[in-house]
Amino acid sequence: MADIQQLLAEVAQTRQQLLNRLNDFTYEQGRFQPTPDSWSIAQHVEHMAIAEQGCVRAVWSAADALRRGKRRWTVDPRFQGRAVEEIVAETWQPGQQAPEYLIPQGSGPLSYWSAVLRANQALVDQIPTALDSLDPAEIVAPHPISGPWDALQWLAFLRYHLELHRDQLEAVTQATDFPR
């Protein structure tokens, strides 16, 4: 598995590519929903921004707990050392829905959520400091769907999750009535 710096570089690159793409959308395009029960581009970005903060908080809190001798979780042996893509393939249902607390509320325009997503990079950049002198394999926190992951799996998930929703928001643009 990749090291922390490589994973963080992948997250930063994926984020920047996504932010560059988000700059292409107008306000109307950002709020367009192909169907009443589907997410708009702005809602995808809202979800990404909030979920990412939760991922960073989970890793940070697990590192803090480990440092204080209060470790609460161990990685599921089935998933130890495995790629996050494999774990997601085994644990998520087709069309997996986000946990209730991560479902976007549709509050705020795309420009706001893009700014939040951009600002999240500063949190991600602080992860090496939060994990300093700890073994990433020992820093474990539960994913709400897949169960306990180690820090490297969580960091790989940051990139994976951005890519997943980037692809989903591109699908929004393919709707026949998407504003042009």
Class of domain 4-172: mainly alpha
**What percent of the chain stands above pLDDT 70?**
99
At 107 the pLDDT is 87
Helix H segments across the chain?
Answer: 4-22, 27-31, 41-67, 84-91, 110-125, 127-131, 151-172
Q: Is the model's pLDDT at 136 over the cut of 80?
A: yes
> pLDDT (tens digit, 9 = 90+) per residue, 118-129?
999 999 999 999
At 146 the pLDDT is 96
Confidence of residue 68 (pLDDT cuts 50, 70, 90): very high
Alpha carbons 170 and 34: distance in angstroms, whole number: 12
Confidence of residue 28 (pLDDT cuts 50, 70, 90): very high
Q: Where are the domains of the chain?
A: 4-172
> pLDDT (tens digit, 9 = 90+) per residue, 34-43?
999 999 999 9
Predicted TM-score (pTM) of the model is: 0.95
Alpha carbons 68 and 80: distance in angstroms, whole number: 23
